[in-house]
Amino acid sequence: MCTSHEENNFIPQEIIHYPQKQIQYYKYQYSQLCPATTNPSWSSCIRKHVSNGSYREAIVLYNQIRSKGVYFLGLVPLVLKACAYVSVLNCGKSLHGEAIKHGVDSNVRIGTSLVSMYAKCGDIPDSRKLFEYMPERNVVTWNAMISGYGKNGDMKSASVLFDKMSTRNAVSWIEMIDGFARSGDMVAARRTFNEVPFELKNVVTWTVMIDGYASKGEMEAARLLFEDMPQRNFFVWSSMISGYCKIGNVKEARAIFDRVPVRNLVNWNSLICGYSQNGFCEEALDAFGKMQNEGYEPDEVTVVGVLSACAQLSLLDVGKDVHKMICAKGMKLNEFVVNALVDMYAKCGDLTGARLIFERMTNKNNACWNSMISGFAVHGKTKEALEFFGRMEESNEKPDEITFLSVLSACVHGGFVEVGLEIFSKMERYGLSASIKHYGCLVDLLGRAGRIQDAYHLIKSMPMKPNDTVWGAFLGACRIHMDNDMVEQVVEDVCTSDSSVDSGNDPHYALLLNIYAGSGSWEKAGRVSMVMADRGLQKTSGRSSLMLENTEQFHI
């Protein structure tokens, strides 16, 4: 907290000379800032916001304090930390200006916080300039600068600075290992890990190295190091679970989870989210129920994973129950939770519910826009999908590859050929490269409209080889419009394409067979059948699915 002399510079003169009035003045300000707290302090209010991850609230509260003419030196590092987490560089610069004005910018704690804030906000030049001009630096200052370089991908500068350090602590080594891992240089990360002095190699050092391997999908190396680890914390168990889920090995992820000696919510979240991300949605919901049975209260991460599972299974009722639980428990509606709710309602077909949540959102990111556009597209609401695409273009969020795939799909369902072609042409304007999925949508769009020749020319001009999906869409259009002449033109392409035979079961051969058989061209159908037999291909069996109701009970 600032000195009494510094405080008096911001307090009305008539209050300074009357202690009783000064006490009343402060009590009034406290009550305005923290009305729900008994005998509160500004410091504890801001500390609480920062510790809870409510960084924007901490910044707003500090601005309220400053507007009342009070400057707390002890709060500056906290607020700078909040600015760094939400990348509010302008606010951080204002705090820097205030520190200079009050002559505390040379304070090593303030200076270190400023170095860290600039670096985390991506302003490395100003961070380094401040670092160089600091009259006093400690190991925390050096670590903050190294961390900044690492998080911004400049490990060359980080290494130079690291070599110049006269004193290193465990954090110094951890920042270097983490920086190399972030940049994808796992060899350098492991070499640095091996060089850590024995007395400084703690559980966090091991965890950062293992997490680096896991985040890059190098699970064999992660597993070897994990098994050698002298002691483990909950985070390293979660890193291993998430790492195996990342590469799709859900079975091994579950085996690791079952070995956790004392589980916590983070471990459960890793398993639930891992299940959802890999399409094991029933298992995700089952784990959610078991987690609650063991007495763990779900948090924002949990509900995001569960809502994803509900969305994939189209379990609207369960998703609504999760939504009610979120409201009942007063969970923080961060962007991830809100996006998950919009996605769940949209994919489950409750577009009114999805739109209601969407329209109430203050900050709409790409994921949220995409969920709405995709939801409209999947459920045949082409005009609404195009409307939202137009609104997205007018907003601060730029469409991405997923956006274009969704809106092109909407055009296919609605038969909006010219609109679809125009939208496809916009991808280059946004600096995006069309994938084979985008081309597949366009082929499908042209084919359904009977523009078979245009669809064929598009396939031949694609910058990549057509796959089964593209040929399937084209041949399907040929079948619908009974254009056997065009089929003849592509038979050679289809039957001689080695790239198409990669799974032992090629669906477009079966489609060709059906086209010929349906048109009575039995000789040609026989030739295709012989090609399928020679290549060991089989016609894909038809499949159907059904959903059993009330098969699971969840404690929500």
Q: What residue segments make up the domains of the chain, in order of their start? A: 1-137, 281-363
Select from 249, 310, 237 the least CA-distant residue to 274: 249
Residue 551, pLDDT above cutoff 50: no
Using an 8 Å Cβ cutoff, are 389 and 407 in contact? yes
Q: Looking at mean pLDDT, say which of 157-171, 330-344, 439-453 comes out highest.
A: 157-171
- Alpha-carbon 224 to chain mean position: 28
Mean pLDDT of 399-426: 93
Mean pLDDT of the chain: 83
Mean pLDDT over 424-446 rounds to 92
Please report, rounded to a whole number, the percentage of residues in the chain having pLDDT higher than 70: 80
Residue 39 has pLDDT above 60, yes or no: no
Nearest residue to 416 via CA among 453, 390, 441, 391: 441
Say how far apart CA 528 and CA 358 lie, in whole Å: 50
pLDDT tens per residue, range 239-258: 999 999 999 999 999 999 99
Rounded-to-integer distance, Cα 156 and Cα 140, Å: 20
How far is 298 from 315, CA to CA, in rounded Å? 19
- Model confidence at 396, pLDDT cuts 50, 70, 90, reads confident
Question: Three-state SS string across 400-456, please?
Answer: CHHHHHHHHHHHHHHCCHHHHHHHHHHHHHCCCCCCHHHHHHHHHHHHHCCCHHHHH
What percentage of the chain has pLDDT greater than the value 90? 57
Give CA angle at 203 (199, 207), nearest 5°: 130
- State the pLDDT confidence band at 227, using cuts at 50, 70 and 90: very high
Confidence of residue 101 (pLDDT cuts 50, 70, 90): confident
Out of 37-41, 72-76, 252-256, which region has the weakest mean confidence (pLDDT)? Answer: 37-41
Cβ proximity of 367 and 400 under 8 Å: no
Q: 406 with 373: CB under 8 angstroms? A: yes
Q: Is the pLDDT of residue 506 over 70?
A: no
